[in-house]
């Protein structure tokens, strides 16, 4: 079973991340998950915005529907 935050080899290659061994010091610091997520969002900006707006509309629909049903 894979850990949810682990990246596959192809994902690491696309993002420019190399797996680091815990015993070896790296010459450059490993990129944080936030930084990788931001880079990915910039690269796929249109898709990220589309998902954000769909999620917002869906959440508002659920909240308005629950408010109507419980009124």
Which residue, chain included where needed, has tokens 């308005």? 64
- pLDDT at 21 (0 to 100): 47
- pLDDT at 63 (0 to 100): 98
Percentage with pLDDT > 90 across the chain: 31
- Residues 44 and 24: their CA atoms lie apart, in Å, by 33
Tens-digit pLDDT profile for residues 27-60: 667 889 999 988 888 888 788 889 999 999 999 9
- For the entire predicted model, the pTM comes to 0.43
Residue 44 included in any domain: yes
Residue 3 included in any domain: no
Residue 10 included in any domain: no
- Given a cut of 90, is residue 69 above it in pLDDT? yes
In sequence order, which ranges of the chain are alpha helices (DSSP H)? 9-15, 33-43, 45-69
Residue 4 included in any domain: no
């Amino acid at each position: 079973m894979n850990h949810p935050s682990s990246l596959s080899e192809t994902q690491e290659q696309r993002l420019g991340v190399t797996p680091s061994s815990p015993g070896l010091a790296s010459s450059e610091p490993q990129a944080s998950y936030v930084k990788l997520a931001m880079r990915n969002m910039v690269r796929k900006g249109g898709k990220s915005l589309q998902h954000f707006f769909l999620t917002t509309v869906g959440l508002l629909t659920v909240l308005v529907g629950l408010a109507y049903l419980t009124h």
